[in-house]
Amino acid sequence: MAATYCLGRASIALAALLLLSFGSFAASQIEVCTSRFWFNYRHVANTLSVYRSVKRLGIPDSHIVLMLADDMACNPRNPKPATVFSHKNMELNVYGDDVEVDYRSYEVTVENFLRVLTGRIPPSTPRSKRLLSDDRSNILIYMTGHGGNGFLKFQDSEEITNIELADAFEQMWQKRRYNELLFIIDTCQGASMYERFYSPNIMALASSQVGEDSLSHQPDPAIGVHLMDRYTFYVLEFLEEINPASQTNMNDLFQVCPKSLCVSTPGHRTDLFQRDPKNVLITDFFGSVRKVEITTETISLQQYSEMESKPKLKDWHPPGGFILGLWALIIMVFFKTYGIKHMKFIF
Amino acid sequence: MRPGARVPGTGSAGGRGFPGLAGASRGLSCPSWRREKAPGPPRPAMGLLSDPVRRRALARLVLRLNAPLCVLSYVAGIAWFLALAFPPLTQRTYMSENAMGSTMVEEQFVGGDRARSFARDFAAHRRKSGALPVAWLERTMRSVGLEVYTQSFSRKLPFPDETHERYMVSGTNVYGILRAPRAASTESLVFTVPCGSDSTNSQAVGLLLALAAHFRGQIYWAKDIIFLVTEHDLLGTEAWLEAYHDVNVTGMQSSPLQGRAGAIQAAVALELSSDVVTSLDVAVEGLNGQLPNLDLLNLFQTFCQKGGLLCTLQGKLQPQDWTSLDGPLQGLQTLLLMVLQQASGRPHGPHGLFLRYRVEALTLRGINSFRQYKYDLVAVGKALEGMFRKLNHLLERLHQSFFLYLLPALSRFVSIGLYMPATGFLLLVLGLKALELWMQLHEAGVGLDAGGRPGPSAPLPPAQGVGLASLVAPLLVSQAMGLALYVLPVLGQHVATQHFPVGEAEAVVLTLLAIYVAGLALPHNTHRVVSTQTPDRGWMALKLVALIYLALQLGCIALTNFSLGFLLAATMVPAATLTEPHGPRPLYAALLVLTSPAATLLGSLFLWRELQEAPLSIAEGWQLFLAALAQGVLEHYTYGALLFPLLALGLYPCWLLFWNVLFWK
């Protein structure tokens, strides 16, 4: 008895451990495209490709905040309306039919982006426009557009600097809004955007170093624009091979798009991250994995017999005979008053 | 007033307020204008121009070096201009507008047969009706799927045009609008074909209709496209543009437009009269020397390269090697042709009239020469389709590239920052000469007051007083002659035809020439009106005023139409600087006549034909000159071209002033 009791205790402890190490940290995503105008088609295609990948790996729309600065699918210049392609053979329509854009067109501003990150949002904002994260969430932030040394251009009229971004992440850390954060940026001189981070648990990737331009890819004469940027094109190819059970880790992601393919030199930063990148799975950030572990251990549950149960409260009804008698009385009085001959109108 | 602030008279001894100097000058028996170092207390430090000693030194320097500086400056200006065709000053063209990007379009136009059949029908109907077949055009455009409208216009010309033999011109324009399927009609592009009595352009009309049919089947248009066929060439285009923009600049009577499509972003005009072409020639110079944005030309050039079409500018091929001497020399020829065409201020095609409304436009001409390799209508259609597809991507008006430039070749340009110094050097000559005259006038004034008056004598007012009185008469008379030259020919054409057996157009031209030559007889008559006290300085003051007047005019002209400014400066500046009553009078007279505006026009006509490798004989040249005069006057009245008023009211009076200076006393 004592032995089974001890075994039982131990088994609970083991199950709890299992729960901790394979814990379901909910992953949240923010994907931002910051460029307007038809000739920046490729930035929207970039963002939608990443969106499509994370949805395929299991993250629901409620956990994704998608910000697109311009509408390419319904632009009058689009010869294939309601589609956004990422490959010039038009194999992959990344717009799909279940895309949910949370911030669209002129709503993609620096202020809105920072409010989404820090959570300082007016109470009337709908839930789909909020980042509902807590201190157990792993967040992926993907940004693309036109950038320079230390800034990213929003909407052709304003910029966000790397210092603002670093401060926003610090606010997130202090408000316990993330557990781990992966920041990917595909712009010119993208590495300058992660230089100033100082909050813990942030890993960052960029498509080019300071002084380099990120190049576009996939020129398509039928549509008339470039369809993708190089870095995101190869990241998408890499992600297409990930399934929810794959064990590829971050080191593989760092190898995506070497200089020979990308022409620019992708960079990454892991010094703020507490875990070793080779132990970090891609699916920690890109997918929502609830791993099911079959165990053959038995867990015995104790009976809580000492606990008293309160008597249940039942509704009270009058007894049935009483009601029958009452109705008989009513009918008798009726026929007494009006005569028995009216019975034929009733029956 | 502080002594230091007074403008010191050159050499005046009194009133300076510097004890040392005053003492020294009073101590001298005959004060000369050569100042000595005063032994008194030191002078306070003064600026370069207000210090009399230093001013004197500067003045002497300028006077001594004036002639060499003038010659150097003039040669520098001409040399700078000639160097514009050479590599450091020319740059390769590049596409500045990001939205237009590269030639990344897939052209799908295959309607060559359809275009030819439309062209044949159009030519047949036109021959039958003699004018533009409006009903057939309307029917065909409607069948292709456009919204069709017509517009009628009429214009009474100031005098009957000899070349076209018309006095009252009336016609109808036909245009069809292709609405953008998914965008609001806020912006539009125009594709226009001008049809006149001498240039039928039937293949261009056929291609226009075939392209309209092809464009109608595409869904990627974000701007409306207007397909415009005009009658009587540029008169119809002007009528349409005025009605579209709701203005009346030239006195044309045009009916209002019923269909409109939003602000025009760009326009392409096509002139094509043969089924096959060997090359496409592009014309960029517009009315009054305006030019379209360079990006439009870059767009055309990139599509020429993509389609392998042979494209020419000013009828000249592109030089291949710019490292040796041949390329730049050919570039220089093209540059000179462009300068001559731009200076004439004529609209060399419908695009020239669009530019006034800041609509970037080009005219493409199909040339069928004796080359072996020919392109059919499909190739031309594909180039046009690519251009329109790229213009469709525009989000704003074309503004990123240059508006003022010169083109030594289709893929090379010279920007305004690099070519303006040429005119600057030429106008510097006028400035230097004016400065020298000013100083000579002052010295002469000093010589008069050498009586040693200690009072505040400013030698300027007396000289100026004499100068002003004697200046007013020549100025007024010259300006009156200019006014007569501007007004009388057209006003007096009927009187002339009554008295002489000439047509109206000839009468206008001959009156023009007669008044011009009559101006040469003036100086012999004006002197009786003017009484001069100091005859020697009167002409200097007049020449000073004339030089400043010429410099101002040429400067203003060069800013808006560099070619005209440079051409006039290059011819008139030497004659203007050299003119003086002393010296070899016949030589100076010949020089002045040879560089007068009319002679410049004659010379540039010869040069123009020489550069186009179709040289003129003297008789042909004279006929062309007379025709050019008539065209200039006509275009001033019909399109608002400014060459005729500029020359008649601005430069001719100025030139008459120099003629007066030459024959002074």
In terms of CA atoms, which chain B residue is nearest residue A220? B104
Nearest alpha carbon to residue B84 among B348, B347, B432, B425 = B425
Most A CBs within 10 Å: which of B220, B306, B390, B391, as the mutation test of the A interface? Answer: B220
Residue of B nearest to A221 (CA): B105
For chains A and B, CB pairs below 8 A equal 45
Give the pLDDT confidence score for residue B21 in this predicted structure.
Answer: 44
Element spanning B245, H or E: helix B234-245
Give the pLDDT score at B526. 57
A168-172 LR contacts (CB < 8 Å, sep 24+): A168/A114, A168/A117, A168/A118, A169/A117, A169/A197, A169/A199, A169/A202, A170/A198, A170/A199, A171/A117, A171/A118, A172/A117, A172/A118, A172/A119, A172/A199
Q: Which residue has the tokens 């808006």?
A: B560
Q: Which two tokens stand for residue B463?
A: 């000289």
Instruction: Give the C-alpha separation, B56 to B58, whole Å.
Output: 5
Put simply, the answer to whether A224 touches B222 (Cβ < 8 Å) is no
- Interface residue of A77, A217, A218 to substitute, partner B, most B CBs within 10 Å: A77
Confidence of residue B38 (pLDDT cuts 50, 70, 90): low
For the cut 50, the answer to whether the pLDDT of residue B121 exceeds it is yes
Among B105, B183, B390, the residue with its CB nearest the CB of A76 is B183
Distance from the Cα of A156 to chain B's closest Cα (Å) equals: 13
A39 part of contact set with chain B, CB < 8 Å: yes
Residues B537-560: tens digit of each pLDDT? 778 888 999 999 999 999 999 999
Q: B106 and A222: CB-CB below 8 Å?
A: yes
Indicate the DSSP class of residue B649.
I
Where are the alpha helices (H) located in B35-111, listed in sequence order? 52-83
CA-based nearest distance A210→chain B, Å: 23
pLDDT bracket for residue A87 (50, 70, 90): confident
- CA B258 to chain CA centroid, Å, is 35
Q: What is the pLDDT of residue A14?
A: 31
Give the pLDDT confidence score for residue A136 in this predicted structure. Answer: 87
At residue B241, what is the residue type?
A: L
Do A165 and A204 touch, CB atoms closer than 8 A? no
Supply the pLDDT for residue B19.
Answer: 45
Q: Which chain B residue shows the shortest CA-CA distance from A219?
A: B104
Smallest CA–CA separation between A144 and chain B, in Å?
18
Rg (CA), chain B: 31
Q: What is the pLDDT of residue B217?
A: 93
Q: Do B104 and A75 touch (CB under 8 A)?
A: no
Q: Are B138 and B150 in contact (CB under 8 A)?
A: yes
Per the DSSP assignment, residues forming a β-bridge with B153 are B171, B254
pLDDT (0 to 100) of residue B15: 41
Cβ of residue B120 closer than 8 Å to a chain A Cβ:
no
Spans of all domains in chain A:
28-286
B221 touches chain A (CB under 8 A): yes
Tell me: pLDDT of B466 over 70: no
What six digits make up the tokens of A222? 């039928």
Q: Which of A81-90, A282-291, A311-320, B367-376 has the lowest mean pLDDT?
A: A311-320
**Which residues of A are designated catalytic?**
146, 188
At A226, the amino acid letter reads: H
pLDDT at A315: 77
Amino acid at B653: P
Residue B23 or residue B366, greater confidence: B366
Q: Does B183 touch chain A (CB under 8 A)?
A: yes
Interface check A23 vs B, CB under 8 A? no
When the pLDDT of each residue in chain B is averaged and rounded to a whole number, the result is 85
Residue B220 to residue A222, Cβ atoms within 8 A:
no
Contact between B222 and A74 using a beta-carbon 8 Å cutoff: no
Contacts of residue A149, defined as CB under 8 A and 6 or more positions apart, other chains included, come to A189, A192, A210, A211
pLDDT band at B18 (very low <50, low <70, confident <90, very high): very low
Express as a percent the part of chain B with pLDDT over 70.
Answer: 86
* Residue numbers of A between 145 and 184 with CB closer than 8 Å to B: none
The pLDDT of residue A15 is: 30
Nearest to B182 among A39, A76, A226 (CB): A76
| Chain B residues inside the 8 Å CB shell of A220 | 104
Q: What is the mean pLDDT of residues A294-308?
A: 78
CA distance A222 to chain B (A): 5
The verdict on a CB contact (< 8 Å) between B220 and A76 is yes
* Rg (alpha carbons) of chain A, rounded to whole number: 31
pLDDT tens track for A212-238: 888 888 888 888 888 888 899 899 889
Mean pLDDT of B258-277: 93
Closest chain B residue to A40, measured at CA: B99
The SS3 of residue B558 is helix
pLDDT value for B16 = 44
What dihedral do alpha carbons B383, B384, B387, B390 form, nearest 10°?
-100
Token pair 């409208």: residue? B149
**Nearest CB to B222; choose among A77, A221, A225:** A77
C-alpha B169/C-alpha B157 separation (Å) is: 7
Give the pLDDT confidence score for residue B39 in this predicted structure: 55
The answer to whether the beta carbons of residues A148 and A107 sit under 8 Å apart is no
**B392 contacts chain A (CB < 8 A):** yes
SS in 3 state form for chain A? CHHHHHHHHHHHHHHHHHHHHCCCCCEEEEEEECCCCHHHHHHHHHHHHHHHHHHHCCCCHHHEEEEECCCCCCCCCCCCCCCCECCCCCCCECCCCCCCCCEEHHHCCHHHHHHHHHCCCCCCCCHHHCCCCCCCCEEEEEEECEEECCEEEECCCEEEEHHHHHHHHHHHHHCCCCCEEEEEEECCCHHHHHCCCCCCCEEEEECCCCCCCCCEEEEECCCCEEEEEHHHHHHHHHHHCCCCCCCCEHHHHHCCCCHHHHCCCCEEECCCCCCCHHHCEHHHHHCCCCCCCCCCCCCCCCCCCCCCCCCCCCCCCCCHHHHHHHHHHHHHHHHHHHCHHHHHHHC
**Res. B14: pLDDT tops 50:** no
Q: Which of B100, B182, B223, B396 to mutate to test the interface with A (most CBs of A within 10 A)?
A: B182
From CA A64, how far away is CA A30, in angstroms rounded?
6
Lowest mean pLDDT among B85-89, B103-107, B542-546: B103-107
Question: Which of A146, A186, A193, A190 shows the shortest CA–CA distance to A168?
Answer: A193
Chain A residues whose beta carbon lies within 8 Å of the beta carbon of residue B220: 76-79, 224
Distance CA A329, CA B2 (A): 132
Lowest-pLDDT range of A81-85, A103-107, B153-157, B501-505: B501-505
Residue of B nearest to A41 (CA): B99
Q: Check residue B371 and give its pLDDT.
A: 87
User: A231 burial class (0-12, 13-18, 19+ CB within 10 angstroms)?
Assistant: buried
Q: What is the mean pLDDT of residues B385-399?
A: 93
Q: Which of B99, B183, B222 sits opposite A39 (nearest CB)?
A: B99
Q: Is the pLDDT of residue B11 over 80?
A: no
Mean pLDDT computed over B487-514: 87
Q: Are B235 and B169 in contact (CB under 8 A)?
A: yes
Answer yes or no: is pLDDT of A311 > 50: yes
Q: Is B109 on the interface with A (CB under 8 A)?
A: no
pLDDT band at A339 (very low <50, low <70, confident <90, very high): confident
Smallest CA–CA distance from B219 into chain A, residue:
A79
As a whole number, mean pLDDT of residues B39-50 equals: 64
Query: Are the CB atoms for B93 and B298 separated by under 8 Å?
Result: yes
How large is the ipTM?
A: 0.73
Number of residues written out for chain B: 665
Cβ of B181 and A38 within 8 Å? no
Task: Look at residue B2 in the predicted model and tell me its pLDDT.
Answer: 47
Least confident of B47-56, B318-327, B453-462, B640-649: B453-462
**Residues within 8 A of B (CB atoms), A 195-254 only:** 219-222, 224-226
Of A74, A75, A221, nearest to B105 by CB-CB distance is: A221
**Which residue on chain B is closest to A37 by alpha carbon?**
B395
Among the partner residues A37, A77, A220, nearest to B220 by beta-carbon distance: A77
Chain B residues lying within 8 Å of A224, measured CB to CB? 104-105, 220, 389-390, 393
For residues B377 and B112, the answer to whether their CB atoms sit within 8 Å is yes
| Contact predicate B268/B381, CB 8 Å | no
The CATH code for residues A28-286 is 3.40.50.1460
SS3 B311: strand
The nearest CA of chain B is from the CA of A193 a distance in Å of: 25
pLDDT of residue B27: 45
Using a CB-CB distance cutoff of 8 angstroms, which residues of chain B are in contact with residue A39? 98-99, 101, 393
Q: How far is B144 from chain A (nearest CA, A)?
A: 21
Q: Does the beta carbon of B182 lie under 8 angstroms from any beta carbon of chain A?
A: yes
In this prediction, residue B590 carries a pLDDT of 92
The residue type found at A13 is A
Edge-to-edge order in the sheet of strand A158-161: A146-148, A151-154, A158-161
Q: Which residues pair with A93 in a beta bridge?
A: A85
Is residue B247 within 8 Å of B237, Cβ to Cβ? no
Asked if the Cβ–Cβ distance from A224 to B395 is below 8 Å, we say: no
CB A235 within 8 Å of CB A256: yes
Which residue in A77, A17, A25 sits closest to A223, CA to CA?
A: A77
B99 touches chain A (CB under 8 A): yes
| pLDDT of A347 strictly over 90 | no
> Which of B215, B174, B224, B179 has its CA nearest to residue B384?
B215
3-state secondary structure of B446: helix
* pLDDT greater than 60 at residue B25: no
- Mean pLDDT across the stretch B141-154? 95
Determine the distance in angstroms separating the CA of A92 from the nearest CA of chain B, rounded to an integer. Answer: 20
More confident: A201 or A345:
A201
Residue in chain A closest to B179 (alpha carbons) equals A76
B414/B88 Cα distance (integer angstroms): 10
Mean pLDDT for the stretch of residues B142-159: 93
Q: Which long-range contacts (CB under 8 A, 24 or more apart) does A216-222 make?
A: A216/A42, A217/A42, A218/A42, A218/A86, A218/A87, A218/A88, A219/A88, A219/B102, A219/B104, A220/A85, A220/A88, A220/B104, A221/B104, A221/B105, A221/B106, A222/A79, A222/A90, A222/B106
Interacting residues of B217 by C-beta distance below 8 A, sequence separation 6+ = none
Average pLDDT of the segment spanning A239-258 = 87
Instruction: Among B182, B183, B393, select the one facing A39 at the smallest CB separation.
Output: B393
Give me the residue from A37, A78, A219 closest to B104, CB to CB.
Answer: A219
Within B522-617, where are the H helices?
523-526, 535-560, 562-578, 585-594, 597-611
Q: Is B96 on the interface with A (CB under 8 A)?
A: no
Rounded to an integer, what distance in angstroms lies between the CA atom of residue B79 and that of residue B73?
10
Q: Among candidates A285, A277, A9, which has minimal Cα distance to A137? A: A285
**SS3 category, B171:** strand
Cβ(B210)–Cβ(B118) below 8 Å: yes
| Distance (Å, whole) CA B86 – CA B323 | 9
pLDDT at B394 over 60: yes
Structure tokens at A100: 């949910």
Instruction: Report residue A309's pLDDT band, with 50, 70 and 90 as the boundaries.
Output: low
Query: Percent of chain B beyond pLDDT 90?
Result: 60
- Please give the pLDDT value at position B452: 42
- Distance from the Cα of B221 to chain A's closest Cα (Å) equals 6
The model's pTM: 0.81
pLDDT at residue B51 in the model: 77
Q: Which residues of B touch A225 (CB under 8 A)?
A: 101, 104
The Cα B92–Cα B410 span in angstroms is: 9
* Residue B189 reports pLDDT greater than 70: yes
Please check whether residue A153 is in contact with residue A146, taking contact to mean a CB–CB distance below 8 angstroms. yes
